Amino acid sequence: MSSKPILQSNNLSKTYERKIALSSLSLTVEKGELIALIGPSGTGKTTLLNILANIIPSDTGNFEVDGLPIQHYPSNRILAKKIGVIRQQFDLVGQSPVIHNVLAGRLGEWGFFKSLFSLVFPQDKDLALAALERVGLRNKVYEKTSNLSGGEQQRVALARLLVQHPEVILADEPVASLDPARAEDILSMLVKLVREEKQTLITSLHSVEYAKKYFTRIIALREGSIYFDSPSEEITDQMLLDLYHLKELE
Ligand SMILES: Nc1ncnc2c1ncn2[C@@H]1O[C@H](COP(=O)(O)OP(=O)(O)OP(=O)(O)O)[C@@H](O)[C@H]1O
């Protein structure tokens, strides 16, 4: 049984002033794939994720999400059921209690006011509580979010994603600001939740070790283009050496 790709991009390019950040990048992603984007700093990983998340426009090319060109999505709310974003800085409201940040995942479905209003509806509160339970934060529900540690805040962001429940999750260096133990903790939790929910995950990562351990497919970018695109188990040390080698040493 063949199904249509959840994401398909054709010839995406982006130039900042005179710097080519992305160069004619084409990519097909099937439902359920766990993809790590790796590569040296400044090779276009964030640019690609931001284009796919519809945060910035590409200069050329186009892409489809679940068979529909991105510009044909009638609203950001409908797109939010397809694509969710998780970032390094978590994007949480520090002054608000944890549960408010988790319920913000409902924005995609109901709009801002209804999301706020939904705080009084038990079934939505239950959804948020269940999400917080799954990420191990059931005891922090009413805590001010900024009082939580970096790792705990990233788990709040995961709970918010559980409530939003998009089909594709785009994560830009989701563990970069955490210490190694917390980073692995969060990454393994993210991958476990994505597998359980049968979602699709595309994450940029600096750690090749984590990319190989947790992801099924690794896409390496170099100078805005795909340098290799392989199943994790086929990645060799030589491929990585070539990818990260400084130009002047070659
Ligand atoms: N807003 C911007 N204005 C100008 N140049 C930019 C802008 N955003 C990115 N760039 C440049 O585009 C290139 C690609 O940047 P991008 O952030 O996509 O790379 P990256 O692979 O995510 O890097 P890192 O691993 O360091 O996060 C870099 O050379 C960067 O300096």
Asked if residue 26 is part of any domain, the answer here is yes
Asked if residue 115 is part of any domain, the answer here is no
Our CA angle for 232, 238, 239, nearest 5°, is 50
Indicate if the pLDDT at residue 120 is higher than 60: no
Q: How many C-alpha atoms does 20 have within 13 Å on its Cβ side?
A: 12
Asked if residue 213 is part of any domain, the answer here is yes
Q: Per-residue confidence at 117, pLDDT binned at 50, 70, 90? A: low
The DSSP code sequence of 61-108 is EEEEETTEEGGG-S-HHHHTTTEEEEETTTT--TTSBHHHHHHGGGHH
Asked if residue 202 is part of any domain, the answer here is yes
Asked if residue 55 is part of any domain, the answer here is yes
Per-residue pLDDT, averaged over 29-46, amounts to 96
Indicate if the pLDDT at residue 44 is higher than 90: yes
Asked if residue 186 is part of any domain, the answer here is no
pTM of structure: 0.89
C-alpha of residue 241 to centroid of ligand 1, in Å: 22
C-alpha of residue 59 to centroid of ligand 1, in Å: 15
CATH number at residue 173: 3.40.50.300
Asked if residue 83 is part of any domain, the answer here is no
Atom 30, ligand 1: residue with shortest CA distance: 42
Atom 12, ligand 1: residue with shortest CA distance: 21
**Segments forming the whole domain that contains residue 43:** 1-66+167-179+198-249
ipTM of the predicted structure? Answer: 0.96
The top-scoring range by mean pLDDT among 38-52, 76-90, 115-129 is: 38-52
Atom 3, ligand 1: residue with shortest CA distance: 16
Number of domains in the chain: 1
Per-residue DSSP letter, 39:
-
pLDDT in tens, 137-164: 999 999 999 999 888 998 899 899 888 8
Asked if residue 223 is part of any domain, the answer here is yes
Task: Tell whether ligand 1 has an atom less than 6 A from the beta carbon of residue 112.
Answer: no
C-alpha of residue 218 to centroid of ligand 1, in Å: 20
Atom 26, ligand 1: residue with shortest CA distance: 41
- Distance CA(54)–CA(70), nearest Å, equals 8
